[in-house]
Amino acid sequence: MAVALRDGFTYEGYSVHVARDGAAGLRMATEKSHDLVILDVMLPRLSGLDVCRQLRGAGNDTPIIMLTARGQEIDKVLGLKTGADDYVTKPFSFLELMARVEAVLRRASKTIDAVESAQFGDVEVNFKSFEATKGGRTIELSPREFKMLKHFVEHRGEVVTRDQLLDHVWGYEGLPLTRTVDMHIAKLRQKIEDTPSDPRHVITVHRVGYKFTG
């Protein structure tokens, strides 16, 4: 069971640590910081409820998802009362657990929404409503273009490498195998520059990357 979950989440790109029993899990969760903890209510040595309670008691507010057997209503209530963020009843599909995990992470990382809007030249962008205008006229930007532009705005004046863009805008890690970034730069220029062939905002820095100047 734990092994299957580990493999599943690893495949999904998560980094996973599995503990053999409740005590080991508690130690693990205490010693290192994790984004999320999944606890089975029935665990050898120390029940999931106890682990949860102790973590919370120690001021640890890592999101916790509890796994309970079907119908154990008591567990469910107890689990939530004990401080778990969500629970999943067995049997469950991996997808279901996955969905919960992502939901909990989402809620937990109610992070800051960064820049809300920006303007430069005669262009105005609102990253919340996904609207953009140039000289008062609406321009249509694709999601990727919005994200790229946002990254640029958040790094005005700095040179941004293609690697960085791939990291932050695409979420890829590793090398740019293709010319995708360049492509999107070109498209972005078509839309926000007065003279795309002689850009004033998105400047090419040969052999390095691109620089945004507002």
Residues that bind its own copies (CB under 8 A): 61, 80-81, 85-87, 93, 95-96, 99-100, 102-103, 106-107, 111-113, 115-116, 128-130, 142-143, 157-159, 163, 166-167, 172, 175, 177, 205-208, 211
Q: For DNA, which residue of 102, 116, 182, 194 counts as binding (CB under 7 A)?
A: 182
C-alpha of 168 from chain center = 11
Nearer to DNA, 83 or 196 (CB): 196
Nearer to its own copies, 147 or 189 (CB): 147
CB 65 within 8 A of CB 104: yes
The answer to whether 32 contacts DNA (rule: CB under 7 A) is no
Q: For DNA, which residue of 110, 136, 138, 140 counts as binding (CB under 7 A)?
A: 140
Q: How far apart are CA 111 and CA 165, in angstroms?
A: 21
Q: Specify whether the backbone of 162 is left (phi greater than 0), alpha (psi in -120 to 50) or beta.
A: alpha
Q: How far apart are CA 104 and CA 21, in angstroms?
A: 23
Shortest spacing between CB 32 and DNA, in angstroms: 32
Burial class, 43, CB count within 10 angstroms (exposed 0-12 / middle 13-18 / buried 19+): buried
The answer to whether 213 contacts DNA (rule: CB under 7 A) is no
The answer to whether 207 contacts DNA (rule: CB under 7 A) is yes
Which residues, 6 or more positions from 172, have their beta carbon under 8 angstroms from its beta carbon?
A: 166
Residues that bind DNA (CB under 7 A): 140, 142-145, 162, 170, 173-174, 176-180, 182-186, 189-190, 196-197, 204, 206-209
